[in-house]
Amino acid sequence: MRFGLSCLLILALQPVIAGQSGFAPQKNEEAELWRVRSQGITDDLLKDASQLSSMRRAVLVARLGQRWWDDDQARARTWFRNAIEVVEQVPNKENAADRQERFATTRLLLKLVAPLDQKLAAPLVKILNGVDEQSTARERSDNAEALINTATALVDTDEYRAAELGAMAIRLGPPNDIASLLLALRQHNPKLADSLFIQALSAAKQNPFPVQILNSLSYAAFPGQRGSDDVKLAAPDYLRVQLLQLEVAFLNANPISPETEGSMCWSVSGFIAPVLGEFERLAPQQAEVVRQAIIKCQFVNPSVQPQLESSSTSQPPNTVDALLEASRDATDDHLRTINVYRAADLAKQNKNYELALKILDGMSKEGRDLMGEAWTWYRADWAADAALDHYQHSRLLEMNLVLNSVPPNLQPVAKTLFVDRLPDNRDPETDPAIQFLNDTKAELRRGNIRESDRYGCYFVLLRSIIKYQPTEAGEILKAAIASLNRAEQADKDRKTLSTPEFSKVLPASLLEMDEYAAKEGIAMVAAVETRARLRLELLEASLQRMKAAQSSRVAKN
C-alpha cells in the first residue's frame, strides 16, 4: 500500500467534522436539500459511467444501487438489474482476458447485491457456480472464494442459504477461507456447521495437495490454538480426530525432502505444529509422525518455533529489551526485522515515543527495505503522536524538536497528522495549529516529496484548513487534485475505483465547503474512475446527512 494512501486510511477511523455552523434550515427542508445534492452527485456519476467500459460501468451503477438502496429501492433494483445483465451476456468469441474480467465483475457485483436481495443475487451465483471446459483452476478458486464470502455475510440473516452457498463453494473450489463461515455458522446452527465441516473434509481428501483447506479447517477445529479464545466455537472431537488423521495422511503422502522442504515446512509450522498437543490428546498413535516432521522443519526454517513439549513453559520475548536481544541473536534478516519492529511498536504502545522512534531510526537499511512503505508511515505517524503527547503535557520545546527531527520529506506528513489530532479545547496562547498549517502548506509546495504522498497529505490537510482557514479551502482542494492528477499520470495502472482510500476523509471535508467549489474541484480530476470514486464517497456522505436530517425530524415530532 502506498504511504500517502495509508495517511488517508488511518484518518478514516477518526471522527469527521460536524455540520457547518450558522443558522440551519428546518429539518424537513434540510433533508430535502441533502436529497437534491445527492441527486446532483448521482447525475454526475451517471455521466462518468458513460465514459467507462461495460464492465466498469456495471460496477459503478451497482455501487449507485447500493448507496440508494435504503431510500429508493425501485431505482436501486433497476441499477442492479442493468449491471447484472452486463455480466450475463457472454460474447460468442470471449477471450481469456475478457472472461476473467467478466468473472471478476460478477464476483464484485455479488458482494454488493447479495446482502440486500437474494433474488437479484441468484443469477450472479449461477454464473460463478457454472463450470465448463473453459474453466481454469484459478477461476474456480476465485469464484468459490466469492461464494464463501457471500455465505459468511449471510449467516446472521439466513443461515440455511449461507450453508447452501458454502457447500456450493466447497464443491466448486474448494475456497481457502472456510473457517470464517464455519465459525460464524456454529454460533447459529452447530448441526449445519458440522455438516459443512464434513463436506470440507471430503473435499480435502480428494485434493492431492490440500494445504489451504487443511489450514482453514484447522482454524475452525481448534480456534483456541489458532487465534480465537472462544472454545465454544471449536468443532466436536469426532470431527477434530478426522481432521488430524487427514493431516497425518498428508504428511505421509508428502515426505519432507530437500525438494519439498520449503512448502511442507510452511504447512508444518502453519497448521500442524500449533496443535501438537491435540495430536497427543486425540490421535496419540499418529503423534510421533507429527513430532518427527516438526523436528525436521526446525533445521530447515529457524523461524519455526513449535511447542515440542505440550507442557513447555518457554515464552516468546515480550519486552522491549527481550525483543531487541532476540533481534540481535537472529540469523535471518526477516526475523530480525520483525523483532526490531515489535520492540519499537511495544515501546510506542507504552507511550515511550522517544524510544520507539530511536529504535525505528536505528533499524538497518536491510530492515527498512523489508518493511518498505510501512517504515515511512510509522516514522511520521509516531512522531505526530509523540508531538501531541508533548503538547498535552505543555512541553512545547520537545514538541517542536520531535517534529523537526522527522526526515525532511516526511515532515509535511507528520505535521499534517499532528494538527489533525489536536484537541478542540486548546489554550489560544499556545495553540500551534496555524503555525504548523502554514509550515505544511509551504513544505507541500516544495519538490522534495513524492506526489503519491503529497496528494494524500493535501486531502487530510483540507479538513484542518476548513476548520482554521476556511477561505483557503478551495485553493488547497485544487492543489490536492493537481497533485493527484500528476500521481496518477505517473502510475496509470492504478484502479482507484476499487480502493477505499478516500472513504470518510475527503467527502466529509467537501461537504463543509462551498458546494460549487467542491463540485468544481472534483470535476478537475482527470481519471474517470478516480473522479467516480470521489463522487461515490461524496454521495454516501451526502445521503448520510439526508438520513440524519430525516431522523432528527422524526425524533422532534
**DSSP line for 4-35:** HHHHHHHHTTSPPP-PPSSPPPPHHHHHHHHH
- The whole-angstrom separation of Cα 405 and Cα 390 is 14
CB of 203 within 8 A of CB of 213? yes
Place 265 in a pLDDT band, splitting at 50, 70 and 90: confident
Which of 125, 130, 126, 176 is CA-nearest to residue 154? 125
Those residues whose C-beta lies under 8 Å from the C-beta of residue 59, and which sit 6 or more positions away, are 83, 105, 108, 109, 497, 498
Helix (H, G, I), strand (E, B) or coil at 127: helix
Q: Is the peptide bond before 174 cis (omega within 30 degrees of 0)?
A: yes
Q: How many residues does the chain have?
A: 557
- The whole-angstrom separation of Cα 260 and Cα 283 is 25
- The whole-angstrom separation of Cα 404 and Cα 555 is 50
Place 310 in a pLDDT band, splitting at 50, 70 and 90: very low
- The whole-angstrom separation of Cα 456 and Cα 324 is 33
Check pLDDT > 80 for residue 9.
no
Alpha helices in 155-178 (DSSP H): 159-172
Retrieve residue 31's grid coordinates: 433533508
pLDDT in tens, 161-174: 999 999 999 999 88
Retrieve residue 314's grid coordinates: 518457554
- The whole-angstrom separation of Cα 277 and Cα 293 is 14
Those residues whose C-beta lies under 8 Å from the C-beta of residue 13, and which sit 6 or more positions away, are none
CB of 402 within 8 A of CB of 389? no
- As a whole number of Å, the CA-based R_g of the chain is 27
- The whole-angstrom separation of Cα 335 and Cα 340 is 9
CB of 468 within 8 A of CB of 437? yes
- The whole-angstrom separation of Cα 275 and Cα 294 is 11
Q: Which residue has the higher pLDDT, 274 or 48?
A: 48
Other CB atoms within a 10 A radius of the CB of residue 450 amount to 16
Instruction: Give the alpha-carbon dihedral of 278, 281, 284, 287, to 10 degrees.
Output: 20
Retrieve residue 516's grid coordinates: 460549487
Task: Give the pLDDT of residue 296.
Answer: 81
Retrieve residue 539's grid coordinates: 454521495
CB of 357 within 8 A of CB of 406? no
- The whole-angstrom separation of Cα 141 and Cα 146 is 9
Which of 119, 41, 122 is CA-nearest to residue 510? 41
pLDDT in tens, 86-140: 999 988 888 989 999 999 999 999 999 999 999 999 999 999 998 777 788 889 9
Under the phi-then-psi rule, with left for phi > 0, alpha for psi from -120 to 50, and beta for the rest, what region is 504?
left
Task: Give the pLDDT of residue 180.
Answer: 92
pLDDT in tens, 495-538: 443 334 454 556 667 777 778 888 888 999 999 998 998 899 88
Can you tell me the mean pLDDT for 213-222? 92
How far from chain centre, in Å, is Cα 13?
A: 12
